[in-house]
Amino acid sequence: MTRVVDILVPFALDQAYSYRVPDGMALEPGDVVAVPLGPRSVMGVVWAENPSPNPRIHNRMKDVDEKLDILPLKSELRKFVDWLAEYTLSPRGMVLRMCLRMGDLGPERERVGVRLAGPPPQRMTPARARVMQALADGMVRSKSEAAHDAGVSAGVINGLVDEGTLETLILPPEPVAKPPDPDYFQPDFSEAQGAAANRLREFVIAGGFSVSLVDGVTGSGKTEVYFEGVAEAIRRDKQVLILMPEIALTAQFLDRFAERFGVRPAEWHSQVAPRKRARTWAAVAAGEVPVVVGARSALFLPYTKLGLVIVDEEHDPAYKQEDGVRYHARDMAVVRAREEKIPLVLASATPSVESEVNARRGRYARLHLPERFGGQHLPSVEAIDMRREGPPRGRFIAPRLAEAVKAELERGQQALLFLNRRGFAPLTLCNKCGHRLACQNCDAWLVDHRFRRRLVCHHCGFSMPTPEKCPKCEAAESFVPVGPGVERLEQEAAELFPGSRILVLSSDLVESMDRLRQELDDVAEGRFDIVVGTQLVAKGHHFPKLNLVGIVDADLGLANGDPRAAERTFQLLHQVVGRAGREEGRGYGFLQTHQPEHPVMRALIAQDREAFYSAEIAAREAMHYPPFGRLASLLISGGDKHLTEQYARKLAAISPLDERVKVLGPAEAPLAVVRGRFRFRLLVKSPRAYDLSAFMREWLAAAPKTKGTLKLEVDVDPQSFL
Ligand code: ADP
Ligand code: ZN
């Protein structure tokens, strides 16, 4: 009897293919194999037995080439792949591919060590003498360690090897992660912290699926508290995954972790070098890595004994992957924890409305940390009504904010001016004919970036020097900037506060992560007086001398038609204002706004988070927006506007009929053209208890094939509506 198995390959295919198992090859579901696919041999994973194969088609099947020397994928991970693919309507092979991003599995480069073995060299130099002294203990060191310890170059070490003074040995590979010590350092907890830590510990001890929301203002000790859950998991020999929304935060977190556990955790994200990835992947699969800190892709690693997952800054929009497989890492972490039957911890000072609703309804356990550690007050916040007390024309800092900044600087303190807009000005127009400089590929204005001396499109990256003359009326020197970006704000600040040291922090100006860290340290150590920054400065940094935060345009995020605009604005501004007064004195925040009565502004001023959530939850419920209803979006794009729109209309016309589901559109997308492609959107709304993925699948199965440049993209639970 021929044995047949179904094998999933990591390509844009939803189906697993059947292969014959050669005699004598022991295969189990989850095993990683090589199989022929067309002319190639590719990696695949045994997904299932195929118990009732039809003997007549056996002859047309191919054999599995070989079983690879890679640890198998556990059934929990395979179920997770199936679930995620089905939910997001992605081909299963593409989800599997995220699990198999194991880097370069090529041969390990050997680590060479040296130790003192032979007679002293013929010719002695001071450098050589230092090496002899540093290695006098006879211990083996890697070449680079030896060079470092002796304060010499690698050449000196190699010279001594050639002379026979040092002998070389092959060292075992360095472990990916050393064992963390759960009792390395434990802080004294406040009562609320201790209570929260105890409950987390209990969840880990009890095992089984649970979700807790660690909810506390910035600086309340959320990290310290969830570290107790991590410690408990380590004691029980379980693996822990800590997810961060951004790579930059991951890097900062490593040392923080080492202060608590004595060693750094393993790191996983797209910037980890291939060889390191390969070793980390294999070590995670072997259960040798106790703790992984990573960006969303770390969710797909083959943990063997996962015991706890933590999602830090769970509200952060960066958890949504917006290309390829579109998934939300926080939501999928919940799914993974459910499959693995383990506890999950969400942490945030401003939880997502989704998580807040779950906590209010008791589906998530809320672990509340009501105050900042050390009794620091939260900053007090005031509005500056731009309709009544705004700055003069062409200026963006209102007199009252300027006064407050001046007073801070006189007291030797720092101020942060926040504006979530890169560049000098978002729009440039000709003051003779009114012509606006727009991108040639997109339906968007070009943003003036003066530091780089270019006009840049923020959607496709197109850039050009500012033209000498207006392309329309040919007037010379007629361009005027409209509206502010951080670079323009810096200019204004330099005029208002002469002699102050100003730093602009904006992602487009970051040359490297190291450089950014240096600049942040400079701010923390008081080498700048004023920081002008975009959302790059909102997260995770601690500036002891910063007492004042001015939000230059608090209304900026409210303008777009995104159902989450209010929530996002509240979260971002709360976080930015929270940078003030973390250590000394009392912090102040100023919101420059045209709508001080807006619920977001009122909640920020009154420090009434509950009021904001209650109002926002009521509004979502009334509109049947998430989490009270489900959304999916279809984006149809193509190089020809007419054909694209036609296809979108056809698609709308054939949608399955179900009175519980509303199909809105097609409408031109808010960003109607990007990279020369015309874009149309359909939005689908259903009740909460409805299988919207199944509805979408049925619909797309009936959709006409996309031809030429036409492209159809599905997004379940969309976060972006542009
Ligand atoms: P959050 O994650 O809520 O922003 P953190 O855990 O980062 O808060 O804590 C903020 C700061 O306070 C950190 O420097 C942390 O080490 C310190 N901290 C918090 N709780 C304690 C404690 N119980 N003992 C000593 N330091 C603490
Ligand atoms: Zn563009």
Q: Would the pLDDT of 365 be above 70?
A: yes
In this structure, what DSSP letter does residue 616 have?
H
* Tokens of residue 705, six digits: 């094939």
* Residue 229 to residues 236, 306, 525, 560, 604, Cα–Cα distance (Å): 11, 13, 33, 39, 31
Please tell me the residue having the least CA distance from ligand 1 atom 14: 219
Mean pLDDT of the chain: 92
In whole angstroms, how far apart are CA 564 and each of 153, 342, 487, 701, 721?
56, 30, 28, 30, 10
> Ligand 1 atom closest to Cα of 224?
6
Query: What is the reported pLDDT for 86?
Result: 97
Q: What are 502's two structure tokens?
A: 């100003």
CB 549 within 8 A of CB 587: yes
183: burial class by Cβ within 10 Å (0-12, 13-18, 19+)? exposed
| Nearest ligand atom owner, CA of 221 | 1
Please, are residues 111 and 171 in contact by the beta-carbon 8 Å criterion? yes
User: Measured from the CB, is residue 574 less than 6 Å from ligand 1?
Assistant: no
Instruction: Measure the CA–CA gap between 376 and 147, rounded to whole angstroms.
Output: 47
Q: What is the CATH number of the domain that holds 401?
A: 3.40.50.300
Domain annotation covers residue 178: no
Residues 316 and 239 in one domain: yes
Q: Would 624 be classed as within a structural domain?
A: no
Is 330 found in the same domain as 244? yes
Is there a domain that residue 177 lies in?
no
How many A from CA of 458 to the centre of ligand 2? 7
Judged against a pLDDT cut of 80, whether residue 57 lies above it is answered with no
Q: Is 221 in the pocket of ligand 1 (CB under 6 A)?
A: yes
How would you classify the pairing of strands 711-716 and 546-551? unpaired
- Residue of the nearest CA to atom 15 in ligand 1? 221
Cβ–ligand 1 contact at 373 (below 6 Å): yes
**CA–centroid distance for 431 within its chain:** 41
Q: Which residues, 6+ apart, have CB-to-CB distance to 77 below 8 Å?
A: 99, 300, 302, 303, 339
Q: Is the CB of 540 under 6 A from ligand 1?
A: no
**CA distances in angstroms from 157 to 139, 169, 572, listed in the order given:** 15, 14, 53
State in Å: Cα 670 to ligand 2 middle: 14
- From the list 184, 176, 167, the residue with the least C-alpha distance to 239 is 176
In a domain, 154, yes or no: yes
Q: Is 292 helix (H, G, I), strand (E, B) or coil?
A: strand
187 lines ligand 1 (CB under 6 A): yes
Q: Is the backbone peptide bond immediately before 666 cis, with ω within 30 degrees of 0? A: yes
Q: Read off the amino acid at residue 273.
A: A
Residue 20, pLDDT > 90, answer yes
Strand order in 530-533's β-sheet?
380-385, 588-593, 546-551, 414-418, 530-533, 502-505
Q: Write b or e for each residue in 642-680: b if 16 or more Cβ atoms lie within 10 A of its Cβ, otherwise e.
A: ebbbbbbeebbeebeeeeebebebbebbeebbbeebbbb
Q: Among 401, 417, 421, which residue's Cα sits nearest to residue 484?
A: 421
Nearest ligand for residue 461 CA:
2
Is it the case that residue 537 has pLDDT exceeding 70?
A: yes
Q: How far apart are CA 557 and CA 350, in angstroms?
A: 16
Q: Which atom of ligand 1 approaches the CA of 369 most closely?
A: 3
pLDDT tens track for 119-156: 888 888 999 999 999 998 888 888 888 898 899 988 99
Q: State the Cα–Cα distance between residues 56 and 43, nearest whole angstrom.
A: 26
* Count of Cβ atoms closer than 10 Å to residue 694 Cβ: 13
Same domain for 396 and 540, yes or no, is yes
Proportion of the chain above pLDDT 90, given as a percent: 75
The CATH number linked to 695 is: 3.30.70.600
Rounded to an integer, the average pLDDT of 339-361 is 97
- Among 567, 598, 618, give the residue marking a domain's end: 618
User: For residue 523, what pLDDT is reported?
Assistant: 92
- Quote the number of domains for the chain: 6
CB distance 209 to ligand 1 below 6 Å: no
| Residue 514 and residue 414 in one domain | yes
Q: What is the pLDDT of residue 454?
A: 93
| Reported confidence tier of residue 306, pLDDT bands at 50, 70, 90 | very high
CA 672 / ligand 2 centre spacing (Å): 11
Backbone angles phi, psi at 312, to 5 degrees: -85, 150
SS3 of 108-172: the string is CCCEEEEEECCCCCCCCCHHHHHHHHHCCCCCCEEHHHHHHHHCCCHHHHHHHHHHCCEEEEEEC
Kindly give the distance from the C-alpha atom of residue 556 to the centroid of ligand 2, in angstroms, as a whole number.
Answer: 21
CA-nearest residue for atom 25, ligand 1, is 187
Residues 408 and 314 in one domain: no
Residue nearest to atom 23 of ligand 1 (CA): 189
Flag whether 674 is in a domain. yes
Same domain, yes or no, for 204 and 295? Answer: yes
Kind of pairing, strands 546-551 and 588-593? Answer: parallel
Residue 581, sorted as left (phi over 0), alpha (psi -120 to 50) or beta, turns out to be left
Does 203 have pLDDT greater than 80? yes
Residue 524 has pLDDT above 80, yes or no: yes
- Boundary-marking domain end, from 357, 373, 389: 373
pLDDT of 104 reads: 65
**Locate tokens 């080498």: which residue?**
527
- Residue recorded with tokens 């800054």: 313
CA distance linking residue 163 with residue 26, whole number of Å: 52
Q: What is the pLDDT of residue 371?
A: 84
pLDDT for res 120: 87
CATH number assigned to the domain comprising residue 83? 3.40.1440.60
Residues 293 and 265 sit within 8 Å (Cβ to Cβ): yes
- Choose the most confident range, by mean pLDDT, from 112-116, 190-194, 532-536: 190-194
**What are the tokens at 140?**
């083996």
449-464 residue pLDDT tens: 998 889 999 988 899 9
Q: Determine how many CB atoms are found less than 10 A away from the CB of residue 401.
A: 24
Q: What is the pLDDT of residue 585?
A: 65
Residue 22: asked if its preceding bond is cis (omega within 30°), the reply is no
Mean pLDDT of 562-576: 92
| 606-630 tens-digit pLDDT | 988 899 999 999 999 999 999 999 9
Residue 16 DSSP symbol: P
Helices 75-88, 692-702: axis angle to 10 degrees equals 60
Residues 445 and 564 in one domain: no
Residue 483: Cβ within 10 Å count = 16
Write the DSSP string, 491-533.
HHHHHHSTT--EEEE-GGG---HHHHHHHHHHHHTTS-SEEEE
**What's the average model confidence in pLDDT over 688-709?**
95
> Residue 189: CB within 6 Å of ligand 1?
yes
**Nearest Cα to 629, choosing from 562, 710, 687, 563?**
687
C-alpha closest to that of 175 among 279, 267, 102, 264: 279
- 207 vs 204, 574, 600, 678, CA distance in Å? 5, 34, 39, 50
Query: In whole angstroms, what is the distance from residue 670 CA to residue 676 CA?
Result: 15
| Res 131: pLDDT | 92
Q: Tokens standing for 66?
A: 């070989």
Do 158 and 293 share a domain, yes or no? no
Residues 261 and 368 in one domain: yes
Evaluate whether residue 180 is within a structural domain: no
The sign of the dihedral angle between the CA atoms of 64, 68, 74, 80 is negative
Q: Quick check: 107 pLDDT over 60?
A: no
The SS3 of residue 699 is helix
Q: 566 lies in a domain?
A: yes
Burial environment of residue 374 by CB neighbours within 10 A (0 to 12, 13 to 18, 19 or more): exposed
Question: How many Cα atoms within 13 Å fall on the side-chain side of residue 695?
Answer: 24
Are 528 and 598 members of one domain? yes
Determine the Cα–Cα distance for residues 196 and 199; give it in Å rounded to an integer: 5
With cut-offs at 50, 70 and 90, classify the pLDDT of residue 118: confident
Q: Which of 596, 618, 640 is the last residue of a domain?
A: 618
What span, in angstroms and rounded, lies between the C-alpha atoms of 100 and 83?
17
Burial (Cβ within 10 Å: 0-12, 13-18, ≥19) of residue 195? middle
Tell me, yes or no, whether 497 and 549 share the same domain: yes
pLDDT reading at 109 higher than 70? no
Report the C-alpha gap between 717 and 663 in whole angstroms.
15
Q: Is the pLDDT of residue 588 over 80?
A: yes
Cα–Cα distance, 437 to 295 (Å, whole number):
37
73 and 158 share one domain: no
Query: For residue 82, with 0-12 CB atoms within 10 Å meaning exposed, 13-18 middle and 19 or more buried, which class applies?
Result: middle
Task: Give me the domain span that covers residue 701.
Answer: 629-716
Instruction: Choose the residue to mutate in 224, 242, 249, 311 for probing ligand 1, maximizing ligand atoms within 8 Å of C-beta.
Output: 224
Q: Which long-range contacts (CB under 8 A, 24 or more apart) does 27-30 make?
A: 27/64, 27/67, 28/72, 29/5, 29/72, 29/75, 29/78, 30/72, 30/73, 30/74, 30/75, 30/78
Over 60: is that where the pLDDT of 108 sits? no
In this prediction, residue 584 carries a pLDDT of: 65
Minimum CA distance residue for ligand 1 atom 9: 221
Alpha carbon nearest to ligand 1 atom 24, residue: 187
DSSP string, 408-437: HHHTT-EEEEE----SSBSEEEETTT--B-
Q: Does position 357 have pLDDT exceeding 80, yes or no?
A: yes
* Residue 474, pLDDT score: 93
